[in-house]
Amino acid sequence: MQALEGFGLREGARIEQPDPGLTILCLDSRIDADRTFNPEGPNTFSLSICLEGQGTMSIEGASQFAFSAGSAVLFTSENYMRGSNSLAGGCRLRMVDLRFEPDFLSQLGGSGLARFGGDILSRHSRPDQNVHLLGFSAQPSLMEAARAIFCCHLADGLARELFLKAKAVEALSLTVDALDAAQPKSVSVRADVARKIKAAQAIIEARFDDDWTIARLAREVGLNERQLKDGFRHLFGRTVHGYLHGVRMDTAAALLRAGHSVTETALATGFSSLSHFSRAFKIAKGTSPRNHLRDPATDAPVSALVPSGVFDEPKRYGPRSPPQRLSG
């Protein structure tokens, strides 16, 4: 949303929020001259569908994607990002941009959807930074869903909110289906190995405050280290460390919004050093933990995110070093 608004196209922009976790921007503007800008912002998950117009989008350190009518762009970032975008002058721009919040995505498809990305997104992406941009040709059904959102004539109220929310979820479903179909099929994971890798994912989700290493997690689920690393990347499009770090940062943000102190949050998410936690959080979220704590955002449900017992006994900072970085 910030990226599109950065073009300075307030005229012809319609912004709606049919759900606290979903924001929809529809743009309909005449672009008289070429425009270029350099957006930057915190973690996000967005889907843009171009109905008319052309330009480019890119993230810092990756190649550009040239979009035009019929193009769709999925953008996911777990860290603060910077990019460079442009619009071609002398044409009309009509675009639908859908911004999904992590809690909304988790309700739809679990934490895996909230961190959707992976090798398929690498051409215009920075997988080393957990920032992914995928441009692709929108299938007719996706274009139809975007046009339905753009041309919705229902009056303001519950019916309109339900319609827009349903169409946004439909657009996301069609995008996931298109990306799944494009995944390379040459590599496979045996069913028994896949079950163990999914068990490793569940362990990370439930016990992310532990000091996990690849070797320890592999032993926990009965795999060797290579099977765990390769299989995890194949199934989830992420390294084990990247996934663990994403879970920790998402939970930290939720705990801060719920009113827990920075110290409590750092300890609850597996950090024994406040400075290490603060640096990691700022890189991931684009703001310091204290600033996030002061943000007047609504409280987030954290009971499902924090392992039971985390706050049962007070923890104290000791000589333990920050959690070991998992390789893979």
List all residues 6 or more positions away from 3 whose beta carbon is below 8 Å from its beta carbon. Answer: 39, 41, 46, 57, 75, 83, 85
Inside any domain, residue 110: yes
Question: Which residue ranges in the chain fall short of pLDDT 70?
Answer: 1-11, 79, 109-130, 181-187, 294-328
176 and 197 together in one domain: no
Inside any domain, residue 315: no
Would you say 105 and 210 are in contact if contact means Cβ atoms under 8 Å apart? Answer: no
pTM, full prediction = 0.57
For position 95, which CATH number holds?
2.60.120.810
pLDDT at residue number 182 = 62
For position 257, which CATH number holds?
1.10.10.60
pLDDT at residue number 35 = 85
Q: Among the three residues 140, 156, 182, which one is the final residue of a domain in this structure?
A: 182
pLDDT at residue number 156 = 93
Burial class (CB in 10 A: 0-12, 13-18, 19+), 136: middle
141 and 245 together in one domain: no
Tell me the residue range of the domain where 285 lies: 191-294
201 and 119 together in one domain: no
Burial class (CB in 10 A: 0-12, 13-18, 19+), 254: buried
d(CA 260, CA 241): 25
pLDDT at residue number 215 = 92
- State the SS3 of 89-126: CCEEEEEEEEEECHHHHHHHHHHHHHCCCCHHHCCCCE
Inside any domain, residue 323: no
Inside any domain, residue 241: yes
Total tally of structural domains belonging to the chain: 2
Inside any domain, residue 278: yes
Would you say 323 and 212 are in contact if contact means Cβ atoms under 8 Å apart? Answer: yes
11 and 85 together in one domain: yes
pLDDT at residue number 31 = 87
162 and 196 together in one domain: no
60 and 174 together in one domain: yes
203 and 257 together in one domain: yes
DSSP, residue by residue, 149-169: HHT--PPTTHHHHHHHHHHHH
Select from 268, 293, 139, 296 the least CA-distant residue to 210.
268
pLDDT at residue number 127 = 52
87 and 216 together in one domain: no
d(CA 253, CA 306): 12
pLDDT at residue number 298 = 36
d(CA 277, CA 281): 6
169 and 25 together in one domain: yes
- Count CB atoms within 10 A of the CB of residue 323: 24
pLDDT at residue number 185 = 52
210 and 265 together in one domain: yes
164 and 100 together in one domain: yes
Inside any domain, residue 86: yes
Q: Among the three residues 153, 182, 211, which one is the final residue of a domain in this structure?
A: 182
Inside any domain, residue 305: no
Would you say 302 and 253 are in contact if contact means Cβ atoms under 8 Å apart? Answer: no
Q: Indicate the SS3 state at residue 252.
A: helix
